[in-house]
Amino acid sequence: MINGTGAKIIGTGHALPEKVLTNADLEKIVDTTDSWIVERTGIRERHVAEAGTPVSEFATEAARQALEQAGVEAKEVDLIIVGTVTGDMKFPATACLVQAKLEAKNAVAFDLSAACSGFLYSLQVASALMRTNSYRRVLVIGAEVLTSMINWQDRDTCILFGDGAGAALLAPAEGQTGLIHSRLGSDGRQTDLLYNPGGGSLHPANLEPVAPDFPTIRMEGREVFRHAVTAMTKVLKQVLEEAEVSAEEINLLIPHQANLRIIEAVGKRFGIDKEKVYVNVDRFGNTSAASIPIALDEGRRSGRIKEGDLVAMVTFGAGLTWAAALHKF
Ligand code: COA
């Protein structure tokens, strides 16, 4: 195994909205069925925020839990990165709002936009900044209220997404632990497969008329599916090879929770037992940047991830973007 990057996760947390939207609830809104959704996606229910709930609320709660678990005070935090595409506002950065709520007055704070890859992108950026800028306590948060950009009349997309946040607190690693290796990838030629055109400088929100469904998610589902499996497989293979780690050595694989069929296809390509592949997409749907840190926290709190375990994480999202990381606890 190669030398690690010097950053280790020492605390995790996650937060979800209380309200649960089941497939049966969706049957009343759009022309769909529970059996179709379960068969095609594995999703049974998802948590959805009340309209107008800021994503910083979930991000802050997840961060508080991570700090508490690690016994670290907010004032010790040097850096906060929030991976999100559904920030409270266009500006300022949601990370600054989280900083204020936590009273983490000594932190530098910024957001990172990489859609569903937001958490793993932020993790790599954080570990690089820890090396170059000597940051010692860093909060990496993936947080989304994706339902704020959903067209509830579009059955192709509205069944897929849920809201929530997950956080990881990083500290300098000791010995052969922590973030061992990670790789990121992007392909801007494929932006048309998954995007939200509304409210940016291309279609400014201050110009009328804006069609009612304009600031919502557009997706070519089948194409996204195909690219997701290919990119996740490729980047995970690269990370394993470069780190000189075999798939058998992985104690737990946490894939981005977009679709059970994508998750199973990736696990299968590496010959990883189903029991070693983390799944919570049935309960939360696709929470974008939040999906991996939510799973990490669930895994650590339930004892599924133990000290000494090697955890592989792999993701894919709009951009297109993708990433994989290996972390030894
Ligand atoms: N309920 C019932 N029928 C639906 C439906 C729904 N919610 N959504 C689509 N359908 C219909 C389609 O209209 C189509 O009907 P047709 O055959 O009469 O044209 C049929 O189901 C099959 O549609 P298709 O798009 O081929 O289904 P699919 O097996 O590809 O599943 C997705 C659709 C969206 C679930 C799947 O493509 C997927 O998960 N893609 C990846 C999306 C994703 O993960 N995005 C985020 C990436 S981070």
| Higher-confidence position of 24 and 210 | 24
- The ranges assigned to domains in the chain are 1-329
pLDDT tens for 275-315 read 999 999 999 999 999 999 999 999 999 999 999 999 999 99
pLDDT in tens, 157-189: 999 999 999 999 999 998 889 999 999 999 999
Q: Which of 156, 227, 264 to mutate to test the pocket of ligand 1 (most atoms within 8 A of CB)?
A: 156
The reported pTM is 0.97
Other Cβ atoms closer than 10 A to 26: 21
Residue-wise burial string across 207-230, b where 16 or more C-beta atoms lie within 10 A, e elsewhere: eeeeeeeebbbbbeeeebbebbbe
Could you list the active site residues? 116, 256, 286
Q: How confident is the model at residue 211 (pLDDT cuts 50, 70, 90)?
A: low
Higher pLDDT, 205 or 92: 92
pLDDT in tens, 102-160: 999 999 999 999 999 999 999 999 999 999 988 999 999 999 999 999 999 999 999 99
CATH architecture of the domain with residue range 1-329: 3-Layer(aba) Sandwich (3.40)
What is the Å distance from ligand 1's center to 275 Cα?
Answer: 27
Nearest alpha-carbon partner for 140 in 162, 114, 160, 159: 114
* Secondary structure class of 298 (helix, strand, coil): helix
The ligand 1 atom nearest the CA atom of 159: 7
